[in-house]
């Protein structure tokens, strides 16, 4: 599911960017975070844990968690979305102006910025980064998130310190979209792009010294299966409010610890300072004890922006030769399932109570876009049985399970990802809850790769999975909403909308993305959510609370609900000496 | 006495497995959602004030759902009832205080009941697989050791090939060509066959060496010179010399197969949840909190230990195998170590 996982739900909040742009431009310094105004302790080491090896050091070629960590620490972007405020902050772009009714942005780059090897950063590097990400041979994980309806942004260098970005169509979130692209050094990678080998450039065998960036740290050591070591980038351009050069830390070590239990034990014992992932509910008690003993800080960040998703294969003809075709793709089945599952029980069992029931893709945390008045399917097993009866499914032989008109059991397979407790437990709860209304569900856990392959090839009955969201604005997530989208989970990349309601959502989202009026955008997206709730192409049950933990010696953290919760602002993290 | 103890352990395992529907207080998939990972509910006869009662239990009260902490409600007694609902014993009020002699797992299922039902699958699977390994191993090793020459080379190289196969990857490849959903009977047959194939080389190598050595001894030569046929010489005189070795191997393979079943369950080749087996139960317990806070989840490991101990004690007293210091079947850990 490469396109899917690459692009699925890269939400961002557009509001402020648009308002700032609409007012004619922006000029500001990125705000230091947390306690940055105070005198921070300079120096020291931070040890974090990641679960997997990076696939590459080239963020444009892969989007796995560990590659993302490398990118966060070693690269920088033109603008940054502050994960706490969800506002756009100038980053490598010092200021910008908007023209042509928002279709054209002229960006002034921050002066006197150099890469970690001392080479000057110019507009050519920005243009090069766009060329690399759009290059078909690169097959970039980020390309789709930097396009609008399949059309690319046109990026040119007006002079060494000025970049002009032209949008192919009105786009309300404006430059927020640039948070998706780390700027890579032309002088290091141009040869690879010309040779058509950019996708394999900066592989894991690349000497760390060759990995050059504009981020706060540089990769100084990679021990496969053990750790990644990052040291301070002495050329980093950012300072705190008192003028102290950032980052505060001398070194960040990322220990590779595949097992979550081992990861939590390491945190509890003080061997690591924080985990890259959030703390799972089943690990909460262990971390809480360490927190009560004063060894770690445990933070409840609130309800996540996303919930695990359950959907059926709605591709027309997918079950043409299947006796279940008359009912497996019906709206009534999905509505019945939504009603059959007790969401509070789901939250109690899967997330140990640390979650809230949800009924759509937006959770209450996303205050700006969440439609509180969208229709909901309350827990009502009796009503669910009636709905199932309306598509010909009823208990014809009195065995408690329901059958179709041909007396065949109403049975389907639910695929989920192996090794993900919340998914495996969630799938088990769905199976048990649906058994109560007579539906038989065969849960099959697959490795991520095998699962994604089946989703991409539409060879499945239903899936329970976490496509993942990183931000909040629906306009940044067209792949999910548009029927032509590569993350339109239930029926991807349609040439024309398969249903009237998808066609209507396409129309509404096209207007929503282009509208300069925030109230109008909200109204349009509320309408989209209402249509979504009526047809339930994806069913959501519970959004978990997000917990993170860090060693007590770590200071100046700016925890955010969206991932990565702590390390998104790595340059301002400090440790007590 | 020691042998009796061994027989007692084995008999207990057999009774537990065969009598599970009567002995277990609950079905293997009954869930008590408010008691995830709750501690065992021990039966009492005397309350806090020193008064005697018929057997009763105290209910658990949830203190912290997220931390999964419970406290006993000592102010309330819930009696036990006998021979009701087709069970030997159970709580008089399952909704308020279910009887869970070994606590609950992470889905709120009674570990004791699952242990009994799991014994049926795990013991049957491991015993069938071990017998399959024995039959194949004895046949291959016996023929190789007796015939020698090219047959010996062929059979031993085939055994070596199985030994060097990365069993887990082979299992994964096998899984990928099988249907997504497999019936429990199919899974049982598949696992038994895989384990038999993986375990056979460890027996065949030892049997081959023993037969080859015994064949040179005077008694074997004498039997042959008296006119005994090849089959009789092999089956009646040479293979019995490997009896001790085979028994030791089987006592090692049985628990290894139980755990291997858990490993294969993880890659999707084993029994799917909520089917109870000792292996899948142990897999559920494979996290640090099980050791620290929910040790009752490890009861399948204790059951496995007792079964193996029983096997060893019985075999030792039968004069066929030492309890300790026996050669360890290297195959025992192959599946789960890869």
B271-324, pLDDT tens digit by residue? 887 889 888 888 888 777 788 889 999 999 999 889 888 888 887 766 554 433
Residue B33, chain A, CB below 8 Å: the answer is yes
**End-to-end Cα spacing for chain A:** 45
Please state the CATH superfamily assignment of the domain spanning residues B112-337 in this structure.
MetI-like (1.10.3720.10)
Residues A189 and A272 in one domain: yes
Residues A399 and A253 in one domain: no
Residue B36, chain A, CB below 8 Å: the answer is yes
Of the partner residues B66, B181, B273, the one whose CB lies closest to the CB of residue A353: B66
Question: Are the CB atoms for B277 and B118 separated by under 8 Å?
Answer: yes
Q: Which of A378, A369, A373 is nearest to A477 (CA)?
A: A369
Could you say which DSSP state residue B233 is in? I
Residues A461 and A527 in one domain: yes
Nearest-Cα residue of chain A relative to residue B175: A446
Q: Return the structure tokens found at A98.
A: 């908007």
User: A286, B292: Cβ pair inside 8 Å?
Assistant: yes
Question: Are the CB atoms for A427 and A416 separated by under 8 Å?
Answer: yes
Residue B157, chain A, CB below 8 Å: the answer is no
Give the model's pLDDT for residue B266.
64
Residue A28, chain B, CB below 8 Å: the answer is no
Angle in degrees, CA B119, B124, B125, rounded to 5:
105
3-class SS letters over A448-509 = HHHHHHHHHCCCCCEEEECCCCCECCHHHCHHHHCCCCCCCCCCCCCCCCCCHHHHHHHHHH
**Percentage helix, strand, coil for chain A under 3-state DSSP, each rounded to 5:** 30, 20, 45
Count CB-CB contacts under 10 A for residue A484.
Answer: 17
A373-398, pLDDT tens digit by residue? 999 989 999 999 999 999 999 999 88
Q: A442: distance to nearest CA of chain B, Å? A: 7
3-class SS letters over A135-204 = CCCCCCCCHHHHEECCEECEEEEEECCEEEEECCCCCCCHHHHHHHCECCCHHHHHHHHHCCCHHHCCCC
Q: Which residues of chain A have pLDDT under 50?
A: 1-33, 35-37
User: A282, B106: Cβ pair inside 8 Å?
Assistant: yes
Q: Which residues of chain B have pLDDT under 70?
A: 266-268, 317-338
Pairing of strands A574-575, A554-555: antiparallel
Nearest-Cα residue of chain B relative to residue A286: B289
User: A261, B289: Cβ pair inside 8 Å?
Assistant: yes
Chain A residues 265-294 with CB within 8 Å of chain B: 265, 281-286, 288
Which contiguous run of DSSP H or E holds residue A349? helix A343-350
Chain A contact probe: residue of B70, B288, B290, B297 with most A CBs at under 10 A: B288
Distances (CA, A) of A343 to A303, A357, A539: 15, 6, 11
Q: Which of B148, B130, B149, B102 is nearest to B276 (CA)?
A: B102
Question: In chain A, what residues touch B288 (CB-CB under 8 Å)?
Answer: 261-262, 264-265, 286
Residues A18 and A34 in one domain: yes
Question: Are the CB atoms for B102 and B110 separated by under 8 Å?
Answer: yes
Q: Chain-centre distance of CA A481, in angstroms?
A: 15
Question: Are the CB atoms for A572 and A37 separated by under 8 Å?
Answer: no
Start-end of CATH 1.10.3720.10 domains in chain B: 112-337
Count of the separate structural domains present in chain A: 2
Q: Which of A432, A444, A435, A430 is nearest to A338 (CA)?
A: A430
Nearest-Cα residue of chain B relative to residue A288: B67
Residue B272, chain A, CB below 8 Å: the answer is yes
Give the model's pLDDT for residue A19.
32
Residues A389 and A296 in one domain: no
Question: In chain B, what residues touch A428 (CB-CB under 8 Å)?
Answer: 107, 273-274
Of the partner residues B64, B266, B288, the one whose CB lies closest to the CB of residue A261: B288
Residues A119 and A153 in one domain: yes
Question: In chain B, what residues touch A352 (CB-CB under 8 Å)?
Answer: 36, 65-66, 68
Give the model's pLDDT for residue B317.
64
User: A285, B69: Cβ pair inside 8 Å?
Assistant: yes
Question: In chain A, what residues touch B273 (CB-CB under 8 Å)?
Answer: 424, 428, 443
Residues A7 and A125 in one domain: yes
Residue B273, chain A, CB below 8 Å: the answer is yes
Nearest-Cα residue of chain B relative to residue A346: B33
Between CA A251 and CA A246 the distance in angstroms is 12
**Residues whose CB falls within 8 Å of the CB of residue A300, separated by 6 or more in sequence, listed in order:** A545, A546, A547
Return the half-sphere exposure (C-beta side, CA atoms, 13 A cut-off) of residue A495.
1
Give the model's pLDDT for residue A539.
97
Of the partner residues A261, A288, A445, the one whose CB lies closest to the CB of residue B67: A288
Q: Please tell me whether residue B103 adopts helix, strand or coil conformation.
A: coil
CA R_g for chain B: 24
Question: Are the CB atoms for A92 and A110 separated by under 8 Å?
Answer: yes
Nearest-Cα residue of chain A relative to residue B179: A444
Q: A556: distance to nearest CA of chain B, Å? A: 27
Question: Are the CB atoms for A315 and A499 separated by under 8 Å?
Answer: no
For residue B242, the cross-strand partners are: none
User: B33, A285: Cβ pair inside 8 Å?
Assistant: no
Between CA A342 and CA A208 the distance in angstroms is 51
Residues A95 and A198 in one domain: yes
Of the partner residues B34, B67, B176, the one whose CB lies closest to the CB of residue A284: B67
Between CA A18 and CA A36 the distance in angstroms is 27
Question: In chain B, what residues touch A442 (CB-CB under 8 Å)?
Answer: 180-181, 272
Residues A491 and A552 in one domain: no
Question: In chain B, what residues touch A286 (CB-CB under 8 Å)?
Answer: 288-289, 292
Chain A residues 457-496 with CB within 8 Å of chain B: none
Full domain range(s) for residue A32:
2-302+546-575
Residue B287, chain A, CB below 8 Å: the answer is yes
Residue B72, chain A, CB below 8 Å: the answer is no
B232-280, pLDDT tens digit by residue? 999 888 999 998 899 888 888 887 888 788 777 766 677 887 889 888 8
Residues A198 and A148 in one domain: yes
Between CA B81 and CA B92 the distance in angstroms is 6
Pairing of strands A104-109, A162-166: antiparallel
Of the partner residues B33, B66, B272, the one whose CB lies closest to the CB of residue A281: B66
Chain A contact probe: residue of B171, B172, B182, B287 with most A CBs at under 10 A: B287
Give the model's pLDDT for residue A39.
63
Residues A167 and A108 in one domain: yes
CATH code, domain carrying A379: 3.10.105.10
Residues A289 and A318 in one domain: no
CATH code, domain carrying A257: 3.40.190.10
């Amino acid at each position: 599911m490469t396109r899917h996982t690459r692009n699925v739900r890269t939400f961002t909040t557009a509001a402020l960017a648009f308002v700032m742009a609409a007012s004619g431009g922006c000029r500001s310094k990125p705000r230091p975070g947390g306690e940055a105004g105070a005198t921070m302790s300079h120096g020291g080491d931070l040890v974090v844990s990641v679960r997997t090896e990076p696939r590459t050091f080239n963020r444009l070629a892969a989007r796995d968690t560990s590659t993302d960590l490398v990118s966060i620490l070693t690269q920088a972007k033109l603008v940054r979305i502050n994960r706490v405020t969800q506002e756009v902050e100038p980053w490598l772009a010092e200021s910008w102006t908007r023209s042509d009714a928002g279709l054209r942005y002229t960006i002034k780059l921050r002066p006197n910025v150099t890469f970690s090897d001392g080479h000057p950063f110019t507009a050519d590097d920005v243009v090069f980064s766009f060329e690399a990400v759009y290059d078909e041979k690169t097959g970039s994980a980020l390309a789709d998130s930097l396009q609008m309806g399949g059309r690319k942004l046109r990026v040119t260098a007006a002079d060494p310190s000025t970049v002009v970005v032209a949008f192919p169509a009105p786009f309300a979130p404006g430059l927020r979209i640039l948070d998706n692209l780390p700027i890579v050094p032309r002088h290091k990678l141009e040869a690879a792009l010309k040779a058509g080998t950019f996708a394999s450039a900066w592989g894991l065998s690349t000497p760390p010294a060759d990995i050059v960036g504009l981020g706060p740290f540089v990769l100084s050591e990679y021990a496969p299966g053990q750790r990644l070591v990052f040291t301070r980038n002495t050329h980093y351009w950012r300072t705190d409010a008192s003028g102290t050069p950032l980052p505060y830390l001398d070194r960040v070590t990322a220990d590779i610890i595949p097992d979550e239990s081992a990861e939590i034990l390491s945190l509890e014992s003080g061997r690591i300072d924080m985990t890259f992932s959030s703390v799972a509910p089943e690990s909460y008690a262990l971390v809480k004890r360490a927190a009560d003993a004063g060894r770690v800080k445990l933070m409840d960040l609130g309800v996540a922006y996303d919930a695990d998703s359950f959907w059926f294969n709605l591709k027309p003809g997918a079950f043409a030769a299947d006796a279940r075709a008359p009912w497996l793709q019906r709206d009534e089945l999905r509505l019945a399932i939504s009603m059959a599952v007790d969401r509070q029980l789901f939250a109690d069992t899967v997330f140990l109570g640390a979650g809230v029931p949800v009924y759509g893709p937006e959770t209450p945390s996303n205050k700006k876009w969440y439609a509180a008045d969208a229709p909901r399917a309350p827990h009502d097993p009796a009503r669910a049985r009636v709905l199932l009866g309306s598509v010909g499914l009823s208990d014809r032989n009195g065995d408690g399970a329901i059958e179709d008109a041909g007396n065949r059991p109403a049975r389907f397979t639910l695929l989920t990802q192996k090794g993900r407790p919340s998914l495996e437990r969630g799938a088990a709860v769905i199976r048990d809850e649906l058994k109560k209304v007579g539906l038989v569900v065969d849960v099959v856990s697959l490795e991520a790769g095998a699962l994604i392959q089946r989703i991409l090839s539409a060879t499945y009955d239903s899936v329970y999975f976490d496509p993942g969201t990183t931000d909040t604005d629906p306009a940044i997530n067209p792949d999910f909403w548009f029927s032509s989208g590569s993350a339109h989970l239930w029926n991807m990349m349609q040439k024309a909308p398969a249903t009237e309601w998808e066609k209507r959502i396409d129309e509404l989202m096209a207007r929503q993305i282009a509208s300069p009026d925030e109230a109008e955008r909200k109204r349009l997206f509320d309408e989209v959510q209402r249509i979504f709730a009526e047809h339930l192409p994806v069913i959501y049950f519970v959004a978990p609370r997000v917990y993170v933990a860090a060693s007590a010696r770590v200071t100046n953290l700016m925890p955010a609900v969206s991932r990565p919760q702590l390390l998104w602002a790595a340059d301002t993290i400090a440790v007590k000496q | 006495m020691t042998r009796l103890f061994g027989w007692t352990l084995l008999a207990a395992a057999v009774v537990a497995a065969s009598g599970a529907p009567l002995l277990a207080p609950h079905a293997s998939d009954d869930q008590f959602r408010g008691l995830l990972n709750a501690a065992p509910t021990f039966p009492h006869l005397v309350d806090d004030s020193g008064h005697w009662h018929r057997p009763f239990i105290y209910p658990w009260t949830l203190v912290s759902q997220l931390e999964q902490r419970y406290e006993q409600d000592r102010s309330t007694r819930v009696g036990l009832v006998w021979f009701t609902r087709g069970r030997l014993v159970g709580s008089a009020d399952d909704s308020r205080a279910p009887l869970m002699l070994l606590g609950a797992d992470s889905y709120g299922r009674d570990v004791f009941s699952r242990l009994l039902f799991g014994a049926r699958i795990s013991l049957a699977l491991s015993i069938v697989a071990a017998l399959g390994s024995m039959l194949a191993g004895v046949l291959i090793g016996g023929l190789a050791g007796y015939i020698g020459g090219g047959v010996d080379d062929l059979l031993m190289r085939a055994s070596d090939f199985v030994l060097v196969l990365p069993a887990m990857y082979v299992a994964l490849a096998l899984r990928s060509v099988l249907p997504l959903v497999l019936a429990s009977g199919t899974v049982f047959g598949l696992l038994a066959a895989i384990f038999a194939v993986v375990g056979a080389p460890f027996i065949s190598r030892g049997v081959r060496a023993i037969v080859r050595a015994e064949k040179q001894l005077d008694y074997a030569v004498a039997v042959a010179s008296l006119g005994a046929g090849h089959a009789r010489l092999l089956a009646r005189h040479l293979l019995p010399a490997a009896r001790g070795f085979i028994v030791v191997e089987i006592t090692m393979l049985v628990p290894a197969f139980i755990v291997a079943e858990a490993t294969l369950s993880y890659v999707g080749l084993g029994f799917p949840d909520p089917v109870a087996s000792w292996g899948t139960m142990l897999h559920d317990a494979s996290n640090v909190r099980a050791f620290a806070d929910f040790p009752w989840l490890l009861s399948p490991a204790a059951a496995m230990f007792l079964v193996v101990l029983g096997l060893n004690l019985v075999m030792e007293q039968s004069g066929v195998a030492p309890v300790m210091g026996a050669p360890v079947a290297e195959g025992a850990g192959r599946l789960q170590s890869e």
